Amino acid sequence: MMSWHQPIFKGESAGMNHHPPTHVGRALTVVLGVLPFTVITLLVFKDWPPLRRWDLSVADEFAAYGAIRPSTVQLWEVVAAITVPWTARGIILVVAAYLWHRRARLLTVWLLVTAGAELGLVQAVKHIFDRPRPAQMLVENDGWSYVSGHATAAFVLAGALGVVLPSVRGWRRRFRLLVTLPTIAVVWIVSVDRVALNVHYVSDVLGGWALGLAILTATSILFGLRPGLRRRRRRTPAAGDGTAEPPRAAVIVNPIKVGDGVAFRRKVNRALAVRGFDDPLWLETREDDAGNAMAKRAIENESDLVLVAGGDGTVRVVCAALAYTGIPVGVIPAGTGNLLARNLHIPLDVDDALERILDGRDRRIDLVKVHGDGLDTDRFAVMAGLGLDAAIITGAPPILKAQIGWTAYLVSAAKNINHPSVKVQITLDDQEPVERRVRTVVIGNVGMLQANIPLLPDARPDDGLIDVVVIAPRRVTQWPLVFWRVMTRTKRTEMYLERFTGRKVEIRAAVDVQRQLDGDGIGPGRDLTAEVEPGSLVVRVPKRR
């Protein structure tokens, strides 16, 4: 059993079985994806005799068959009306909207970029090569023949929804099969329809498929998606029994913050298994415990990595409990503010964040120990505050936060704009205390707020210091000037905005005011004392690029 403060230094074990593709490997994958389209295009426009004969032979056969089967031609016309390229693009837009709602922002953008690339490249290829359609078309059709836009759009739809998305998002194999088979059938029906109506040669359809493959390959590599990635777990030989234990992970989840818990669990399990981890320990927070007991369970489990998915409050509690253990913490943003994730440059898209964390590096950062009247000794990783900022956080309705995210704080800020000032005494390290009448005082371990607002521009999470900002406009009309000073990162000290730096800060207010830790209200009080704990937490962050 591991003791509470026993250091654990297990190196980079969490990623030891995973080797991300190199730049050369990604470039080679793109080249291989584009190669079929290049070959088919060259064969078509060099009039390669076997391909030319095949095109003309199939076109003649369908022209003769269609002349004596008008009812069959009408059936294929109905299929053509249903399967126009804009139908496939519309489906992609609907799926993209769903993914955006589920906060899978990376996959949303990837889908939209892929659909846009398909639309643009099909039109470009048609105008570049100007290939006439077959002479014996069974229906009227304008435009150029190469490539088939219907075939390309259907292939991109099938590739995106039937292959890439299920694999990347960790769907079960049986469900992937149920999605993949119908999409393949759609591609086949759409492609046969084009040839049966004699509006495209067979090579036009093959070129459309190849162009779709090239688009999917290029955009997937561009966005760092690796569909279908499977690696067997490998055990490293070691002294004794000849094998080494696979690394262990614990996943601490706030179920209220994570939308689709089942899908999230499958995704994380798959991502960890791919990288050689043992089955993770799953722990859910409770209403009466935001993560403290769960973090202790993770320590007892001798975890090599702890992933935490939740809001800033859950992240703070877990990080506080894991201080001085040496166990890396990977923050998967799932809350309203996600301030620690933002300041550690972790993507806010859940899929992207998981990928970057598991393939990332370990970094030691500071925590800040804090206590005050009516408070047990605690720690925070981001910011603590007293006054207006705490009133804004406390006043933001939970329902509104769930619906519109961090912009709910703007609504609360508007309601609290006339929050009264309060007289405070501020003591930094061993210096003489200073007195100010303020609207708010913020103590920060990091500097950036939502929307990249640099409240404490010099704050660094690993500099062994804490930064303090005192905001004290006298009137409402002075707030625009304060905001301007903040956004321009001014370092000039003035009566409205002052900044201090130290290792310990004590704040004492003349009356009870609201207080907050990492975006959680902790109730009103008069005292707040914070002291930095340098390098006390190990976090898993994306590798430098």
Domain locations in the chain as residue ranges: 23-222, 231-365, 375-533
pLDDT digits (tens, 9 = 90+) for 206-233: 999 999 999 999 988 887 665 544 333 3
Residue 376 has pLDDT above 50, yes or no: yes
CATH code, residues 375-533: 2.60.200.40
CA nearest 308: which of 353, 244, 262?
353
Same fold yes or no, 231-365 and 375-533:
no
Q: HSE-up of 298 (CA within 13 Å, CB side)?
A: 34
Supply 354's token pair: 């998981």
Which pLDDT does position 491 carry in this prediction? 66
Decide: 357 and 542 in contact? Cβ < 8 Å.
yes
Query: Which residues, listed in sequence order, are joined to residue 331 by a DSSP beta bridge?
Result: 308
DSSP character for 293?
H
Q: What is the pLDDT averaged over residues 115-141?
A: 91
Supply 224's token pair: 């760092």
Residue 172 has pLDDT above 70, yes or no: no
Q: What is the pLDDT averaged over residues 269-282?
A: 90
Q: Work out whether strand 520-521 and strand 305-310 pair parallel, antiparallel, or are unpaired.
A: unpaired
Residues in the chain: 545
Rounded alpha-carbon distances, angstroms, from residue 22 to 26, 345, 349: 6, 21, 23
Q: What is the pLDDT averaged over residues 165-173?
A: 51
Give percent above pLDDT 70 in the chain. Answer: 84
CA nearest 435: which of 456, 445, 421?
421
> How far is the C-alpha of 385 from the C-alpha of 515, rounded, in Å?
6
Exposure string for 284-308, b = 16+ CB within 10 A, e = fewer? bbeeeebbebbbeebbebebbbbbb
Class of domain 231-365: alpha beta
> How far is the C-alpha of 541 from the C-alpha of 524, rounded, in Å?
34
Q: What is the pLDDT averaged over residues 167-191?
A: 71
At 534 the three-state DSSP class reads strand
Residue 41 has pLDDT above 90, yes or no: yes
Decide: 125 and 118 in contact? Cβ < 8 Å.
no
Residue 244 has pLDDT above 70, yes or no: no
> Comparing 469 with 66, which gets the higher pLDDT?
469
Decide: 96 and 112 in contact? Cβ < 8 Å.
yes
Q: For the ranges 4-18, 120-134, 444-458, 513-527, which has the lowest average pLDDT?
A: 4-18
> How far is the C-alpha of 234 from the C-alpha of 243, rounded, in Å?
9
Other C-beta atoms lying within 10 Å of the C-beta of residue 349: 20
pLDDT digits (tens, 9 = 90+) for 441-488: 999 999 888 767 888 888 899 999 999 999 888 877 777 887 787 777
The average confidence (pLDDT) of the chain is: 83
Which pLDDT does position 493 carry in this prediction? 63
Residue 530 has pLDDT above 60, yes or no: yes
Which pLDDT does position 399 carry in this prediction? 66
Q: Show the beta-strand stretches assigned E in 449-519.
A: 466-471, 497-502, 504-513, 515-517
Which pLDDT does position 240 carry in this prediction? 44
Q: What is the pLDDT averaged over residues 489-505?
A: 81
pLDDT digits (tens, 9 = 90+) for 46-65: 999 999 999 999 999 988 88
Residue 265 has pLDDT above 90, yes or no: no
Residue 239 has pLDDT above 70, yes or no: no
Q: Work out whether strand 281-284 and strand 249-253 pair parallel, antiparallel, or are unpaired.
A: parallel
Exposure string for 227-242, b = 16+ CB within 10 A, e = fewer? eeeeeeeeeeeeeeee
DSSP string, 499-518: EEEESEEEEEEEEEE-EEET
CA nearest 110: which of 72, 160, 45, 151?
160
> Comparing 56 with 545, which gets the higher pLDDT?
56
Rounded alpha-carbon distances, angstroms, from residue 386 to 392, 477, 537: 11, 22, 25
DSSP H/E element including 428: strand 422-428
How far separated are the first and last CA of the chain, in Å rounded?
Answer: 38
Amino acid residing at 390: A
Supply 29's token pair: 């994958």
Other C-beta atoms lying within 10 Å of the C-beta of residue 376: 7
Decide: 517 and 528 in contact? Cβ < 8 Å.
no
324 sits in the region (left: phi over 0; alpha: psi -120 to 50; else beta) called: left
DSSP string, 124-186: HHHHHH-PPPPTT-SS---S--SS-HHHHHHHHHIIIIIIIHHHHTT--HHHHHHHHHHHHHH
Show the DSSP H helices in 405-460 as ranges: 408-415
Would you place residue 165 in the very low, low, confident or very high pLDDT band (cuts 50, 70, 90)? low
Which pLDDT does position 457 carry in this prediction? 86
